[in-house]
Amino acid sequence: MSENELTNSPPPQSDLPDWLEQVAGGQPQEGDEPVQQRFSAFGVTAILIIVGLLFVIGYALYQRNQSTPTEGPAPEFSVTVFDVEQLERQGERLNLADFRGNVVVINFWASYCLPCRDEAPVFERVWREYRDQGVVFLGINTDDIERDAMAYMAEFDITYPNAPDQGGRIEDQYRITGIPETFVINADGEITWHIPAPASERELRAEIERALQS
Amino acid sequence: MLRQTSLQTALLAGMAVLLALLAPLAVEVAPVRAQGGEFDLPPGVTWDEVNSIARRMYCDVCEGIPLDECESVACRRWREEIARLLGEGWTRDEIMDHFVERYGADVAALPRSTADRILAFATPAVIVLIIGLIGVLQVRQFRRRGQQSGEVVRRSGSRLQARPVPDDVDPAYLERLERELEGLES
Amino acid sequence: MIAEIGIIATGLAFVAAVYAIVAALVGMTTRRDALVTSARNAAIATFPLLTVSCGLLVYAMLDHDYSIAYVWQTTDNNTPAFYLVTGLWGSQAGSLLFWSWLMSGFAAAALLLNWRTERRLMPYVIAVTMATLGFFLILNNFIENPFERYWVTPETGRIQPALFAPAGGEVFHPADGNGLNPLLRHLGMVIHPPMLYLGFVGFTIPFAFAFAALATGQLGSGWLHATRRWALVAWLFLSLGLLLGGRWAYDVLGWGGYWGWDPVENAALLPWLTGTAFLHSAVVQEKRGMLKFWNMLLIIMTFLLVVLGTFATRSGVVSSVHSFAESEIGRPMFAFLGLSMLASTALLAWRQERGDLRGADELDSVFSRESFFLLNNWMFLGLTVVVLWGSWAEAITTILVDLGLRDTIINLGPDYYPPVVRPFLIGIFILMGIAPLAAWRRSTAERLGRALIVPTALAVALMAYLVATGTDSPWALLGYGLVTFAGLATLAEIWKGMAARHRRGENYLAALLALVRRDRRRYGGYFIHLGMVVMGIGVIGSSGFQKTTMQTLNVGDRLTLGHYELQHNGLYEAQAEDGRTMIVARTAVYRDGELVANVRPRRDIFMTTDPATGMPTPGTNMSIPGNYSTVAEDFYAIITHWNGNTVTFRAYLNPLISFVWMGGFVLIIGTMVALWPSRQPDAVTRKLAVPSGHAGARAGGGD
């Protein structure tokens, strides 16, 4: 049995229907102790915790919603090129900042990615053409096993610098959503083009030309 | 442990040759049967050993799936790499540290460094202790109020007046009464 | 035509919900009864309107109207009729509309059933339920509208999805659809989301009443009594959803387990935890008028965790297997979450500060039943905190990393949860055993001890037996001991009642039935506890003693796991009716050398068309296990990899896993017993019923 069956509604003290009386903040009952105001420790703690939680959740949402940078300054990073003879600058530590003044093409790939295999010969070919104009090609190998990466580079006869994304930081910085993804950066360090898909030769050449002119 | 007999090795080699010869045909047909290149476990390494490490890791490519269950090509390659490293004599910790260094901290299901692991477990422990402390305090506060029998307990805003059971009834008797009632009710 | 009506119906529902909120609040403050009634009617009207919307969407799917983007996304010409109907919740937009429909239905029912008895609370109940519904309707109308159609502009030939025709656009009718994600074409996967939604939506009703009680100051047990059944129904569906999810994962997903501590799984578990605590704590408020603040806190937390869980699942902020595609709803959901958190906490803190929630908060004895219930609340709260931390540690440490305070994030996987969860489960099972044996108000340690001697002794005896027969894991031993203790204590309680009646000449079975009939809530609760005990046995066995192995076999080879062997007898390919290719392994299972079963683990490959080449290519790849199941254990095998006839199998030995399913079944039965309305009030309540107004009406339904 519940308490409410033992206590009835109080005798109506006004013309209004009972429920409205109560809802409108009705008169205090006879014999009630005076209400004591206390500082609510719970209230303060709860609000603090909630604000903290909302901050965390909001930040996570903000992070998630941030899309891949398609313009503006390209995030800085440094890499160590694979120590493989056929690659230029083998074993060297390179910073993106070192290439300020050159057009840079960054390509994210992995050996198990089938579309990457389609565009690999394209990149090598275009690289060889634009080398003399100072265009830098940089391949970033993500989430891949080193030997598989080496085998891949050997298979496609790749000579431009390629480096592993140590610690997975670069793929986070560039917020790539999959592979292959390619970014073209102009001489001022600004991203001029981004494609979250295999790049066709025509597009790649056009965008490099565009970056060279800007 | 599964050991490769020489017969099995020869068989596999023969199949590999056969597959290589048939490769041009395979291009036309959607490759349902083959699942990528064949991989041989290094001698002395079992898939169970690989999985005991892989299950403590996540694949970076597939979200939220432990490495031992993930079916993507990347994950298979990672497991094969673990097998290879085991074959070379690496220990579990060395392998996991290597993966974390190469791919980032979210590849491991638990933090690698002891300090981080302590932090990971200590944080909820501290929170729970604080909550527990509040709990103990609350129980004591309630107990104290309960010991002040005879005083009117303050209530405001609520309309509770009477307690459902009078104070002076022996609880043992009450319990027996309830049982008897249960027996009587139809 | 369909889409237009659908858009209008959904839009009208939104208008009705907003009107209901405004009218209810205005009517309350200006004391105009008629306005509040009109608000109620508007609120109820949302249900038929949304029924029309959902009905039209289902009709469009049955009719294969692919001009509607949602129909194209979730069905195709080959989809069987059953999946055409259940495709309503197959994807984001439709599942949100389905949610709104359920919410409107529950709200309408809650309003109608309680209109007379809880009139004082009604304005706020209307406001809160309609505010929640209204938020989801904002998503349904403006962000993820399932009635978006494909339009083609003749000049450019571009096809785009939009709600209204772009300039010069005409409706575009694709000939075939995209089809449902193959993973969802399974009965378990079809039922699992609606069960969870029913649970989530169900908990909104008690929350609305609690909020109303806080706002109006009606802080007695009225709101609790009105919504007790709702909370139990919601809990039932949430439990079903969790159990079905686990069972489906085990049967179809092929990773040998049923619970992975995935953040989205946790998102459904968290409100279940606080909801369970709430159901228990509510009993104390009804019986003793105490723990009012706790009950408010718990139901508010349950609601907020429901919103948080929905947000986390659909916005992609946590990395999980369940991740939906990127969607726009993250921001509005976050806003709703923030508003609800702030509003309900502020209200609760205000009432707490005024002392309105004091109630009879006192303990006569630490060994009294109310004391154990209080302890129970703390246990569940602790459990909630540790699970929350596990899911959100990565997000929190990411912020610290970005602020430069840390080097690396902390990612917590399945290995984190068992050690942190154990202490609380131990506490909860101990309480499960002793609380029903403790008396209300006063109890002494001796009395309690005396009642517990037999269950404790038997539990210790079991532990000794297990040690003697080779169980060596201390945690498992403790677990089995506790679970047995709780189960025996519960059985002892049931037995006491049966024995009391038997003394009067009734036979035991009739006594049991009469007892259950007389006090369904208590005995339903006992059955639920027994269900948890059985599940506990299953969980300890299957997680503590699971064995697994992975080996590559040629035809004729065997692998060994425990006292089982699996022999590979061949691999063949088959085509199923819905176009999937099945790679099936014929295997034989031997136990202790004897053939016990032939199982066929297989791979289901769903072919899709490669957009670049137009050729069929393998798409989704499912791993269906071959399972030999007995009461004692499951021998479970999947194909990991195959090359020609050489197959790599992964085999699992799951001891006692059948107990998990059996326990779940007992739990569901127990809940239904507890929910079953009594036909007549007990004699006690009848005598005490005050024959006036609504108090009398409520006494008539006592149980």
3-state secondary structure C326-346: CCCCHHHHHHHHHHHHHHHHH
**Residue B150: predicted pLDDT:** 55
Nearest to C198 by CA among C326, C292, C103, C271: C103
What are the boundaries of each domain within chain B? 1-38, 39-112, 113-145
Q: CB A64: neighbour CB atoms within 10 A?
A: 17
Whether pLDDT at B27 is above 50: no
How confident is the model over C345-358, as pLDDT tens digits? Answer: 999 999 888 888 88
CB C313 within 8 A of CB C264: yes
**Residue A61: predicted pLDDT:** 83
Q: How far is CA A113 from CA B110, C178, C234, C392, C577, in A?
A: 28, 24, 46, 31, 32
pTM of the model: 0.86
What 3-state class would DSSP assign to B3? coil
Q: For the CA atoms of C554, C558, C560, C564, what is the dihedral angle to 10 degrees?
A: 140
User: B29-33 contacts: CB < 8 A, separation 24 or more?
Assistant: B30/C607, B30/C615, B30/C616, B30/C617, B30/C618, B31/C618, B32/C573, B32/C581, B32/C583, B32/C605, B32/C618, B33/C573, B33/C583, B33/C642, B33/C643, B33/C644
CB C494 within 8 A of CB C670: no
- For chain C, give the mean pLDDT: 88
Tokens at residue A190, please?
A: 């600004």
CATH number of B39-112: 1.10.8.640
Question: Length of chain A in residues, anyone?
Answer: 214
Tokens at residue A51, please?
A: 């604000």
Residues in B whose CB is inside 8 Å of some CB of A read 60-61, 72-74, 77-78, 80-81, 101-104, 106-107, 152, 154-157, 159-162, 164
Distance between CA atoms of residues C317 and C305, nearest Å: 15
The single-letter DSSP state of residue C545 is: S
Contacts of A37 (CB under 8 A, 6+ apart): C353, C354
The single-letter DSSP state of residue C32 is: -
- Shortest CA gap A210–chain B (Å): 33
Confidence of residue C222 (pLDDT cuts 50, 70, 90): confident
CA-nearest residue to C559 within chain B is: B2
Whether pLDDT at C166 is above 60: yes
Distance between CA atoms of residues B40 and B88, nearest Å: 14
Does residue C616 or residue C454 have the better pLDDT? C454
CB A90 within 8 A of CB A169: no
Task: Calculate mean pLDDT across residues A51-55.
Answer: 90
- The verdict on A178 touching B (C-beta cutoff 8 Å) is no
CB A61 within 8 A of CB A79: no
Question: Length of chain C in residues, anyone?
Answer: 703
Asked if residue C603 is part of any domain, the answer here is: yes
Domain termination residue (choose one: C148, C178, C195): C148
Task: Calculate mean pLDDT across residues B9-25.
Answer: 49
Quickly list DSSP for chain A: --GGGTSPPPPP-SSS-HHHHHHTT-PPPTTPPPP-----HHHHHHHHHHHHHHHHHHHHHHHHHPPPP-SEEPPP-EEE----TTSTTTT-EEEGGGGTTS-EEEEEE-TT-HHHHHHHHHHHHHHHHHGGGT-EEEEEE-S--HHHHHHHHHHTT--S-EEE-GGGHHHHHTT--SSSEEEEE-TTSEEEEEESSPPPHHHHHHHHHHHHH-
Q: CB B91: neighbour CB atoms within 10 A?
A: 11
Quickly list DSSP for C241-263: HHHHHHHHIIIII-SS-S----H
- Per residue in C321-335, is it b (16+ CB within 10 Å) or e — as a string? bbbeeebebbebbbe
**For a pLDDT cut of 70, what percent of chain C falls above it?**
94
Task: Calculate mean pLDDT across residues A88-97.
Answer: 89
Does residue C589 or residue B6 have the better pLDDT? C589
Count chain B–chain C contacts defined by CB atoms under 8 A: 218
Distance between CA atoms of residues B15 and A207, nearest Å: 46
**Residue C536: predicted pLDDT:** 95
Q: Which helix (H) or strand (E) holds C289?
A: none
Where does C365-416 have alpha helices with state H? 369-402
What are the boundaries of each domain within chain A? 20-65, 72-213
Whether pLDDT at B170 is above 70: no
Nearest to C441 by CA among B68, B159, B178, A19: B178
Indicate yes or no: CB of A7 within 8 angstroms of CB of B156. no
Task: Calculate mean pLDDT across residues B80-88.
Answer: 93
Maximum average pLDDT range among C362-371, C528-537, C637-646: C528-537
**For a pLDDT cut of 90, what percent of chain C falls above it?**
58
Q: Which residue has the tokens 């085998």?
A: A151
Q: What is the 3-state secondary structure (H, E, C) of C199-215?
A: HHHHHHHHHHHHHHHHH
Asked if residue C390 is part of any domain, the answer here is: no
| Phi, psi of A172, rounded to the nearest 5 degrees | -70, -45
Question: Length of chain B in residues, anyone?
Answer: 186
Task: Calculate mean pLDDT across residues B49-53.
Answer: 92
Residue numbers in B near C367 (CB within 8 A) = none
Nearest to C192 by CA among C81, C59, C50, C95: C95
Residues in A whose CB is inside 8 Å of some CB of C read 1-9, 16-20, 22-25, 35-40, 42-44, 46-47, 50, 53-61, 63-65
| Phi, psi of C535, rounded to the nearest 5 degrees | -60, -40
Asked if residue C565 is part of any domain, the answer here is: yes
Q: Among the listed ranges B99-108, C226-235, C545-554, which one has the minimum average pLDDT value?
A: B99-108
Nearest to A149 by CA among A175, A187, A113, A119: A113
Q: Which of A6, A24, A61 sits opposite C317 (nearest CB)?
A: A61
Tokens at residue C86, please?
A: 């259940």
**Residue C692: predicted pLDDT:** 46
Task: Calculate mean pLDDT across residues B127-148.
Answer: 86
Task: Calculate mean pLDDT across residues C94-123.
Answer: 93
**Residue B10: predicted pLDDT:** 58
Which of C224, C301, C358 to probe by mutation at the B interface, max B CB count within 10 Å? Answer: C358
Q: What is the 3-state secondary structure (H, E, C) of C488-513?
A: HHHHHHHHHHHHHHHCCCCCHHHHHH
- For chain A, give the mean pLDDT: 80
CATH superfamily, domain A72-213, is Glutaredoxin (3.40.30.10)
| Phi, psi of A10, rounded to the nearest 5 degrees | -70, 155
Residue numbers in A near C284 (CB within 8 A) = none
**Residue C680: predicted pLDDT:** 54
Whether pLDDT at A30 is above 80: no
**Residue B65: predicted pLDDT:** 84
Q: Which domain holds residue C574?
A: 547-655
Distance between CA atoms of residues C442 and A196, nearest Å: 70
Asked if residue C587 is part of any domain, the answer here is: yes
Nearest to C24 by CA among C111, C122, C91, C115: C122
Indicate yes or no: CB of A43 within 8 angstroms of CB of C334. no
Question: Parallel, antiparallel, or unpaired for β A181-185 and A104-109?
Answer: antiparallel
CB A135 within 8 A of CB A103: yes
Task: Calculate mean pLDDT across residues C427-437.
Answer: 93
Contacts of C204 (CB under 8 A, 6+ apart): C103, C106, C107, C128, C129, C132, C303, C306
Confidence of residue B30 (pLDDT cuts 50, 70, 90): very low
Beta sheet of A181-185, edge-to-edge order: A72-73, A190-195, A181-185, A104-109, A136-141, A162-164
Residue numbers in C near A2 (CB within 8 A) = 221, 225, 286, 698
Distance between CA atoms of residues C6 and C51, nearest Å: 10
The single-letter DSSP state of residue B105 is: G
Distance between CA atoms of residues C644 and C428, nearest Å: 52
How confident is the model over C184-200, as pLDDT tens digits? Answer: 777 878 888 999 999 99
Whether pLDDT at A3 is above 70: no
Number of domains within chain C: 2
How remote is the C-alpha of C547 from its chain's centroid? 29
Distance between CA atoms of residues A20 and A8, nearest Å: 16
**Residue C79: predicted pLDDT:** 84
